[in-house]
A = this chain, B = another copy of it.
Amino acid sequence: MYIEKINSPADIKKLNIEQLTVLASEIRKGLLNRLSKRGGHFGPNFGFVEATIALHYVFDSPKDKFVFDVSHQCYTHKILTGRRDAFFDDEHFGDISGYTNPEESEHDFFNVGHTSTSVSLASGLVKARDLKGETGNIVAIIGDGSLSGGEALEGIDFAAELGTNFIIIVNDNDMSIAENHGGLYKNLKALRDSSGKCECNLFKAMGLDYTYVPDGNDIAGLIAAFKKVKDTDHPIVVHISTLKGKGFEPAEANKEDWHWHMPFDPATGKVLWGDSGENYSDMTCGYLMKKMKADKSVVTITAAVPTNIGFTEDKRKEAGKQFVDVGIAEEHAIAMASGIAKAGGKPVFATHSSFIQRTYDQISQDLCINSNPATLLVNTASVYGMHDITHLGIFDIPMMSNIPNLVYLAPTNCEEYFAMLDWSIEQDRYPVAIRIPCNGVIHSDEPADTDYSELNKYKITQQGEKIAVIALGDFYQIGEELSKLISEKTGTAPTLINPRYITGLDTELLEQLKEKHSVIVTLEDGILDGGFGEKIARYYGPSDMKVYCYGLKKEFIDRYSVDDILKANHITPAQIYKEIM
C-alpha cells in the first residue's frame, strides 16, 4: 500500500510511474469506501484520480496553487494533501467537506461549490502573485460542463490579458451533470477527434495558447504534458480527455446517474435504500408533461440540473422540443424565458435556490422590467434543502422578493403548489416565481384556490384573536403547531394566516388585525434580513402592535442539523410561545 506513505504531496514525487498507477487504484478504493457509505460526487472524482496524481507529482502545492472548479472533483486532492483518513477510515468521514475548504488545508484556497468560477478566482491569484513579485504556478482546473457558464467564459476570455504564468486544465469528459449543451461542445469534440489539431479552436479564439492530452487517465502522458507547461510564461489551456466515473463499471455506463450518488452497495452499485414515495421532483415532472402535451406553447427549461424537477433522460426525450436544458447557463435561461413569454409562449424554468442566485440581474432587467409572464420554480429553497455552505437555500427571499414586478409565491402544501403553478403558467401579466415546498409532500383536504391574480391577498385559515400567526410557505406547519400550542395553553385560539405572497403586503388584512390582535408572529423559511417578516414589522412600526419575526440569522451555515439550526434560531413552537408570552 503506497497510500499509507502519502502524507503530503512531497511523498508522491518519490514514486515511479508504475507505483503511481498502483496508487491510483488504492485511491479509488478510498473513494469507493467513502462514497458507497456516505454518498457524494462520484463520476467527477473517479475520472480525475490520475490527473490529480500527475498534478501533485509535477507541481509543488501549495507554492503552486490549484483552484478546482465547483471543486466536486477534489477528493483525490484531499487524499494526497493530508486528508486520507476521511476516505479510508469511516470514523473520519466527518472531518472534511465535499468541496475545497481553506479551513481544512493550506492546499485549498477557496470554498467553492458553484460552477464556472475557477478561472476567475485563479486569475486573482495570478494578478496578486505578479503585483507582489512572487513566483509559482497558478493552475485552474475546470470541467467541460462548467465551460458554458458565463463567469467561466468571462474568465477564459480575460485570462489572455494576464500575459503571464497561468495554466488552465480543461477536464473534458464529454459530460455536464447530464449531457452537455451548447455549441462549444462540438468544438471540444472536434478538438478531441483531431487530437487538438483542429484549426478552429475555442481557446485559441479567446487568445490562449493550447495543448491537448488525448488520454487524461494515463499518468505518464499527463506528467509529460504538465512538465511541459510548468513555469510557462503565459496563459495556456491544457485540454485533457478523461473518462467520467472511470474505474467503476456502473458509473462508466450511466454517467448522469453517477454524477452525484446516494450511498450504494459497492459490489453491485445498487442504492442502499429505495424510493421514499412521493416527491416534488417526480410530481412536478408529471404535471409539466401533462401540461405540455395539452399545450404546445408550454416549455420546460432547466440549467444542467434537469432531474431537479424529475426530467430524467426518458422524460426529456418524451417532451421533445418542449423541454430545453441550456447546460450551465442560468443567466441565459432566465433571459430566454423572458423572450419566450414575450412572444406568447409559456416558459417554466426550474433550478435550485442556490443556483438562481446567479441570475439576479436577469430576473430584474430581462424579466421583471419587461413584466413578461414567465414562471420560475425555485427548488430546495429552505432550511430543509441542501446543507453545504455553498448550496444553501435560505437567501432567495431577500434576493428575489425585493425585485419590483415579480410575484413570488410560497405554497404551504402540495395542492396549493400545483394550483399556483397552474395559475402562473396560464396567466399573462406577471413574472411569477414559486418556492417548491421542501418540507415533505404534505397534502391538504381543503381545496386550493385556483386564482392568484388578485395580488397580495393573504388567507386566514383560522380566525382567532389576540395573536395572529403569519406563517409563510414551508414554515406554515410550524405556524399550525404554534397555533395549537397557544390554544391549548391560553384557551384562546390565535388567528392563523397563510400569506402566500412573499412579494407584497395585504395591508387591508393587516389593518383589520389591529382590531382584535395585539401580537403578530411571522414565520419564514429563510434568513430574516431583507425577508418577509421585516416588511410586516415595518408596516406595524408606527402602531401599538407587537411584532415578533422568526426566521434564520443572516449567516453562512455549513453541514448543519436542521433541528439544531431551528433551535438556535428559536424557531420551535415551544420557544416562540415562551418568547411572545
Please report A residues at the B interface, Cβ cutoff 8 Å.
67, 102, 109-114, 117, 120-133, 148-161, 181-187, 199-202, 204-208, 296-297, 299, 321-322, 324, 326-327, 329, 331-332, 335-345, 347, 357-358, 360-362, 364-366, 368-370, 389-390, 395, 398-399, 401-405, 527-531, 533-535, 537-538, 540-544, 546-549, 554-556, 580
Q: Tell me which of B124, B366, B547 contacts A120 (CB under 8 A).
A: B366
A449 CB, nearest partner CB in chain B, Å: 24
Pairwise interchain contact B207-A205, C-beta atoms closer than 8 A: no
- Nearest B-chain residue to A296, judged by Cβ: B131
**Bound: A205/B207 CA distance, A:** 13
**Bound: A286/B530 CA distance, A:** 36
**Bound: A389/B124 CA distance, A:** 33
Pairwise interchain contact B362-A360, C-beta atoms closer than 8 A: no
Q: Tell me which of B109, B187, B199 contacts A206 (CB under 8 A).
A: B187
Q: A120-B366, A159-B183, A537-B534 are in contact. Are A322 and B361 (CB under 8 A)?
A: no
Return chain B residues, CB-CB under 8 Å to A399.
360, 399, 402
**Bound: A152/B329 CA distance, A:** 10
Q: Tell me which of B125, B186, B358, B398 contacts A398 (CB under 8 A).
A: B398
* List of 9 A-B pairs having minimum Cβ-Cβ separation, nearest first: A124-B339, A150-B150, A183-B207, A160-B183, A120-B335, A128-B343, A541-B547, A402-B530, A128-B345
Pairwise interchain contact A541-B530, C-beta atoms closer than 8 A: no
Return chain B residues, CB-CB under 8 Å to A543.
546
Pairwise interchain contact B124-A402, C-beta atoms closer than 8 A: no
Q: Tell me which of B329, B337, B401, B529 contacts A124 (CB under 8 A).
A: B337
- Nearest B-chain residue to A133, judged by Cβ: B296
- Nearest B-chain residue to A134, judged by Cβ: B343
Q: A158-B182, A296-B131 are in contact. Are A547 and B538 (CB under 8 A)?
A: yes
**Bound: A153/B335 CA distance, A:** 13
Pairwise interchain contact B132-A160, C-beta atoms closer than 8 A: no
A34 CB, nearest partner CB in chain B, Å: 24
Q: 19 interchain pairs (CB within 8 A)?
A: A117-B362, A120-B336, A123-B335, A123-B336, A127-B324, A133-B296, A148-B154, A150-B151, A151-B362, A153-B153, A153-B157, A154-B332, A185-B207, A200-B201, A357-B361, A399-B399, A402-B531, A538-B547, A541-B546
**Bound: A537/B404 CA distance, A:** 21
Given contacts A125-B343, A183-B207, A405-B556, 5 further A-B contacts (CB under 8 A): A120-B339, A132-B345, A200-B201, A399-B399, A537-B538
Return chain B residues, CB-CB under 8 Å to A535.
529, 534
**Bound: A205/B191 CA distance, A:** 10
Return chain B residues, CB-CB under 8 Å to A335.
117, 120-121, 123-124, 151, 155
A128 CB, nearest partner CB in chain B, Å: 3
Return chain B residues, CB-CB under 8 Å to A133.
296
- Nearest B-chain residue to A339, judged by Cβ: B124
Q: A332-B151, A337-B124, A360-B361 are in contact. Are A322 and B200 (CB under 8 A)?
A: no
Q: A322-B131, A537-B538 are in contact. Are A207 and B186 (CB under 8 A)?
A: yes
Pairwise interchain contact A102-B370, C-beta atoms closer than 8 A: yes
Q: A121-B339, A331-B154 are in contact. Are A297 and B131 (CB under 8 A)?
A: yes
A302 CB, nearest partner CB in chain B, Å: 13
Pairwise interchain contact A340-B161, C-beta atoms closer than 8 A: no
Return chain B residues, CB-CB under 8 Å to A340.
124-125, 127-128, 131
Pairwise interchain contact B206-A365, C-beta atoms closer than 8 A: no
Pairwise interchain contact A184-B206, C-beta atoms closer than 8 A: yes
A544 CB, nearest partner CB in chain B, Å: 8
**Bound: A577/B337 CA distance, A:** 46
Query: In the complex, which of the residues A109, A124, A128, A322 has the most CB atoms of chain B within 10 Å of its own CB atom?
Result: A124
**Bound: A149/B152 CA distance, A:** 10
**Bound: A127/B297 CA distance, A:** 10
